[in-house]
Amino acid sequence: MRIAALIFFWSLLLYSCREVSYREPQPAGIQPLKEIPKQLLGEYVGIDDQGKDTATLIIETWGYHFKDPNEKDWLGRGVISDSLVVKAYADYYFVNFRAEKGVWVLRVLKQKPSGNLEFMSINVGDDEKGKEMLRKLGKRFPVKEMKLNGDTFFQISPTKEQLAQLLKDGFFSKNELSKVK
């Protein structure tokens, strides 16, 4: 169970070996938040493939951390800093992780009326679906492929309006995290 939870959260929050990236924290031109907004604070749980709760994501004003099913902190923390940047724009929260200098990975949060979070990213795996996603992105933006430390990044540079349009057009896959506290 702990391994399934680790894989689930690691893939949600950090980055995979094939990832869309950005030269700067997104959306470009929007100032970063100094702390996480109060409405996002709390504990959230994802559901694994067997329908069981995974580890708990805890969002605090300073960033996030995790608890395993035995209430022990694990997997580390993300603290708002020069390598974790959070921005708000158009009812979305943009969580930017610096993978390397000039390479930012993005996860997008949207709070639902229930308090749950939609957790979004652009998936570009090695399968045909991932290749099709890259073809579609390439029709909208130049896509620069980069290899860093064994990972492949496909870098794009959208405006904030173009990024919002990618969200509306379904480029971001969605997972839901249930608010428990």
Asked whether 99 and 21 are in contact (CB, 8 A), the reply is yes
Beta strands 42-47; 173-179: pairing state: antiparallel
Question: Which sequence spans correspond to the domains of the chain?
Answer: 2-179
Distance CA(78)–CA(42), nearest Å, equals 15
DSSP 8-state secondary structure symbol assigned to residue 110: E
Q: What is the DSSP letter of 165?
A: H
Lowest mean pLDDT among 49-58, 84-93, 98-107, 146-155: 49-58
pLDDT digits 0-9 by tens, 111-135: 999 999 998 998 887 778 888 999 9
SS3 61: coil
Residue pointed to by tokens 């996860």: 107
Q: Do the beta carbons of residue 110 and residue 93 sit within 8 Å? A: yes
State the pLDDT at residue 9.
Answer: 46
Structure tokens at 11: 């893939």
Question: Cα 128 to chain center, whole Å?
Answer: 22
Q: pLDDT band at residue 57, thresholds of 50, 70 and 90? A: confident
Structure token digits, residue 89: 């724009």
Q: Which helix (H) or strand (E) holds 139?
A: helix 128-140
**What secondary structure letter does DSSP report for 23?**
S
Q: Model confidence at 54, in pLDDT bands (50, 70, 90)?
A: low
Q: Name the range with the highest mean pLDDT among 15-24, 63-72, 75-84, 88-97.
A: 88-97
147 has a pLDDT exceeding 70: yes
Strands 117-121 and 144-148: unpaired
